Structure 1
Amino acid sequence: MTDRPSATKINQPDRHVRRILERAELEGIELIRFMYADHGGVIRGKASSRSRLAERLGSGIGHTVAMMAMNMLDQLQDVEYMGPVGEVRIVPDPSTFVPLPHAPGAAAMLSDLRNPDGTPWEACARTFLKDAVAALADDGYTLLAAFEPEFTLGRRLPDPTGGYDRLIPLDDSLCYAGTGFDTAHDYAIKLIRALETQGLRVEHYHPELGPGQQELSVRHAPALRAADNHVLYRETVRGVAMRMSMWASLAPKPLADQSGNGAHLHLSLWREEQNLFADDSELRECFIGGLLAHLPALTAITCGSVNSFRRLAPRMWSSAYAVYGPDNREAAVRICSPLGESGEPNLELKPSDSSANPYLSLGAVIHAGLDGIRRKLDPGEAVDVDPDTRPGRYQRLPASLDEALDALEADEVLMEALGPLRRSAYLAVKRSEAAAFAAKDAGYELFHHMRVF
């Protein structure tokens, strides 16, 4: 079977192609990874050799359609049009080319999944976000976004009793404590340099609440670039750790009795150079209204794993209720105060973590917010207390992945946005994960999420 579609269908900017080929030659890059995120939230891909790179930039690399029906346990699901028959291409975006400092001799590009004739494939997650961005543009808006991830740094050790491998945190330091900075210093410096080399502008870093827990945030970017950045971030966090004989997990809850790892999503809506969340409080409230109206369904995508729902509990500062409020860190949507005179206000969506596919997650959030603007949805009264102190007053978020998937299936706006093939595959993959982990004990769940994310 050939893996060479009509190159004329896939237009690549010549300047990017020339730059890539020159850099690969000059920097001794032997393998170039074409990366994408699947419905299980796993970052996957294939790599081109340097000798075939010029050709593969146009043709992509052949790939079975079945991979988008694979769950995070590598169990293939029965999804129509995603079986043994059928082919797509992993087609890289040359503007995303970056050398991988944690993998000397390798580089990466973020990629779309396309039909053999070069047209977008209906199950491509990156295309889903592109379409959401286009829908925003049709209404005159652009969105800037940034994921704010946490992760647990430590070492992966075999269980002496023959059970699952264990994640042993690097330290037992306190939140924001100097000992935490010192213990993880060498790793943090290597990570920052690796991210900056790839064009991710690091903003803040600190040791977080749990043992071995780290938080490092990168600067906001246009929506597609923000999702691309999060894929690179996830790969780099783990790659740098592996090169230092450590293990980093971005799983929502890799350790059952410790703090969870979120990837809070920061958002601001713009028109030209104007931050509309700063200058139009009515527009901001309508966007929030859309987020809250669709939040039960959104959690099936922004918190896309069984493990996610261990984190979404009251009084954990991760959000457990569908409420919003100014600088309320127990609210699902926080209106963030600007930092300094030059700071810009933004929204923070707290039920979000790194087990989600970032393209699906951010795309779904855009559709929800845009629905709020178009229908002028009222978010209700802002909440300025911990919502858990007022029992029964506020709507709880789904308590499990299955419950969130039920909400997603009932959400006409998000189901329509996902489209027939993508939604059938996503639901099949996620239902299979919920069933697989329900049949096992907690140790099985924690191990596999620690291993994969």
Structure 2
Amino acid sequence: MTALSPAPPRDAEELARAVARDGVEFLLVMFVNLYGKPCAKLAPVRTLDQLLSDGLGFAGNAADGLGQSSADPDVVAIPDVTSYVKAPLQDGLGIIQCDLYVEGEPWPYAPRHILRNQLRLLAEQGRQLKVGAEPEYFLVRRAEDGSISVADELDYADSPCYDANAATRAFGHLSTISRSLDELGWENYSNDHEDANGQFEHNFGYADALRTADRVIIFRHLAKMAAHRQGLIATFMPKPFTDLTGSGLHLHVSLWEGETSLFDDTDDPRGLNTSPLGYGFIAGLLDHAPGLMALTCPTVNSYKRLGAGSDTLSRSSWAPGYASYGGNNRTHLVRIPDTGRIEVRCVDGAANPYLAIAGIAAAGADGIARGADPGDPVARDLEAAAVPAGLRPLPPTLLHAVDELVADGVLREGLGKVPDGSYADYYADVKRTEFARYHREVTDWELRRYLQS
């Protein structure tokens, strides 16, 4: 059995002992912006006391996606001592996640703050949200002309999922990531070649929702570091290749009260071992799915992954097209794979984990509060069979999803207020601008289709 890393520090004194024990000389003082981009400064450990008391200042406008202009005061990153980890792959480096403040007040544009608020509301009811993540990504190499290709030139099979030969050829990278996850104490239990050529997934233990969001950010950072050292790129772009399956970030979600899973019910008449409260959570996800997609599939590229099965070599997308749920059936937005948890499959590799989980928490809590029921599970394969009447299609583009988000009062309230109104409106403005810039770009497809028409 792999030895787990020491428990995370609980206060400043324990943090000081931890960095000394780990031989850490510098701390990567980190937070993420709206886009999920990790932003950081490198702080010498000798400044630890000052760092914990005063934080580090950042120009919020330069960090982007934080609701600031160049005229606004600094956002100040205050470390969460419990988030500290010794960085694998780099001797002498530690990583610590931060909460953002402006002029002494929590900054409501900070994604970590938004998730904290949702978890606080659950805690007031004596409940805790736990989440496990399954991040997928591609290993690619970039040519001099800027084009990309799958890093392994021998990885070209039509159905490469779980391919032992391809996984063995990638052993150096996969084993590096696996050892890093174990060094972090995350209980890595599986590393595999996924459904697309050049695509991989690493599985590790679940944790409370905030900790898992932190882990997703650190995982992406590690995967990119390891790939870069081989002259490769680890990309979490949802769909980098037209003819290959895209990358998801499937989240396994459970709600707990103390040591009891509130989703567990072995007397479930539907035979899925799920409680009425669990079905309420599922119903909330399905009811709010259109707006939730703006948070879980947050880029224009995200929507090229959804429903792409007929265009991929494997003839499958592994991504939902409808607001539906089922048992152990991977064609739905919500899958119930086992007792006591659900899998939310509408999250992709580009998602900001703090915002995605905050939206999931708000939607699920609303379903519970209303005593909602999702109806009976759908048993059929939605990629291969006719879709049952009454299932709601998911938004076809980012623009459609953003319009659904701003119209959804529950998600609007869940994302919270900001100085100029609602974070949902701020987020929507950013994403509408992103869509408009994309829409104005002339693509190779347009040139091929229209140049001589």
Q: Tell me if both proteins adopt one fold, taking TM over 0.5 as the criterion.
A: yes
- After the TM superposition, which residues 319-338 of structure 1 pair with which residues of structure 2 at under 5 Å, given as runs? 319-337=320-338
Instruction: For residue 397 of structure 1, report the CA deviation from its aligned partner.
Output: 0.5
1:102 counterpart residue number: 89
- After the TM superposition, which residues 335-354 of structure 1 pair with which residues of structure 2 at under 5 Å, given as runs? 335-337=336-338, 344-354=339-349
Q: Which residue identity does 1:406 align to in structure 2?
A: D
Instruction: For residue 151 of structure 1, report the CA deviation from its aligned partner.
Output: 0.8
Q: Is the 8 A contact 1:64 1:84 kept in 2?
A: no
Instruction: For residue 25 of structure 1, report the CA deviation from its aligned partner.
Output: 4.5
In structure 2, how many angstroms separate the alpha carbons of the residues matched to 1:28 and 1:142?
34
Change (3 A) 1:347 1:443: farther
> What fraction of aligned residue pairs are identical, expressed as a percent?
33
1:74 counterpart residue number: none
The answer as to 2:197 corresponding to 1:202 is: no
The answer as to 2:443 corresponding to 1:437 is: no
Q: Which residue identity does 2:437 align to in structure 1?
A: A
Q: Is the 8 A contact 1:68 1:82 kept in 2?
A: no
Gaps of 5+ in 1: 1-12, 72-78, 338-343, 445-453
Tell me the secondary structure at the aligned position of residue 434 of structure 2: helix
The answer as to 2:140 corresponding to 1:154 is: yes
2:4 counterpart residue number: none
1:9 counterpart residue number: none
- Tell me which of 386, 405, 408 is aligned to 1:390: 386
TM-score (norm 1): 0.86
Q: Which has the higher contact order (CA 8 A, sep 6+)?
A: 1
Instruction: For residue 314 of structure 1, report the CA deviation from its aligned partner.
Output: 5.6
Tell me the secondary structure at the aligned position of residue 375 of structure 2: coil
- After the TM superposition, which residues 32-431 of structure 1 pair with which residues of structure 2 at under 5 Å, given as runs? 32-67=27-62, 69-70=64-65, 82-117=69-104, 119-159=105-145, 164-170=146-152, 171-172=155-156, 174-279=160-265, 281-313=275-307, 315=309, 316-337=317-338, 344-388=339-383, 389-391=385-387, 393=389, 394-421=391-418, 422-431=423-432
Tell me the secondary structure at the aligned position of residue 138 of structure 2: strand
Tell me the secondary structure at the aligned position of residue 106 of structure 2: coil
Q: Is the 8 A contact 2:9 2:18 kept in 1?
A: no
Tell me the secondary structure at the aligned position of residue 162 of structure 2: coil
Which stretch shifts more, 57-66 or 387-396? 387-396
Instruction: For residue 14 of structure 1, report the CA deviation from its aligned partner.
Output: 8.7
Q: How many residues align?
A: 413
In structure 2, how many angstroms separate the alpha carbons of the residues matched to 1:374 and 1:228?
28
Q: Is the 8 A contact 2:325 2:377 kept in 1?
A: yes
Q: Is the 8 A contact 1:39 1:425 kept in 2?
A: no
1:30 counterpart residue number: 25
Q: Is the 8 A contact 1:321 1:331 kept in 2?
A: yes
Instruction: For residue 226 of structure 1, report the CA deviation from its aligned partner.
Output: 1.0
Change (3 A) 1:70 1:392: same
1:340 counterpart residue number: none
In structure 2, how many angstroms separate the alpha carbons of the residues matched to 1:335 and 1:443?
41
Q: Is the 8 A contact 1:336 1:345 kept in 2?
A: no
What RMSD, in angstroms, separates the aligned Cα atoms of the two structures?
2.2
In structure 2, how many angstroms separate the alpha carbons of the residues matched to 1:133 and 1:84?
32
For residues 391-421 of structure 1, the C-alpha deviation after alignment (integer angstroms, 9 at most, x for no partner) is 4722111111111000001001111221232
For residues 85-141 of structure 1, the C-alpha deviation after alignment (integer angstroms, 9 at most, x for no partner) is 222201111111112222333221111111232x31111211111111111122232
In structure 2, how many angstroms separate the alpha carbons of the residues matched to 1:443 and 1:28?
51
Instruction: For residue 440 of structure 1, report the CA deviation from its aligned partner.
Output: 1.8
In structure 2, how many angstroms separate the alpha carbons of the residues matched to 1:49 and 1:425?
35
Instruction: For residue 297 of structure 1, report the CA deviation from its aligned partner.
Output: 0.4
Q: Which residue identity does 2:226 align to in structure 1?
A: V
For residues 328-370 of structure 1, the C-alpha deviation after alignment (integer angstroms, 9 at most, x for no partner) is 1110111113xxxxxx431111110231111111011001000
Q: Which residue identity does 1:396 align to in structure 2?
A: P
In structure 2, how many angstroms separate the alpha carbons of the residues matched to 1:157 and 1:227?
33
In structure 1, how many angstroms separate the alpha carbons of the residues matched to 2:220 and 2:108?
25
Change (3 A) 1:400 1:191: same
TM-score (norm 2): 0.86
In structure 2, how many angstroms separate the alpha carbons of the residues matched to 1:139 and 1:19?
30
In structure 2, how many angstroms separate the alpha carbons of the residues matched to 1:286 and 1:83?
44
In structure 2, how many angstroms separate the alpha carbons of the residues matched to 1:289 and 1:68?
37
Instruction: For residue 49 of structure 1, report the CA deviation from its aligned partner.
Output: 2.0
In structure 1, how many angstroms separate the alpha carbons of the residues matched to 2:46 and 2:426?
35
In structure 2, how many angstroms separate the alpha carbons of the residues matched to 1:66 and 1:252?
26
Change (3 A) 1:399 1:28: same
In structure 2, how many angstroms separate the alpha carbons of the residues matched to 1:424 and 1:60?
29
Q: Is the 8 A contact 2:34 2:110 kept in 1?
A: no
Gaps of 5+ in 2: 1-7, 266-273, 310-316, 446-453
For residues 261-299 of structure 1, the C-alpha deviation after alignment (integer angstroms, 9 at most, x for no partner) is 000011011111111211252111111000000000000
Change (3 A) 1:55 1:431: same
In structure 1, how many angstroms separate the alpha carbons of the residues matched to 2:416 and 2:32?
18
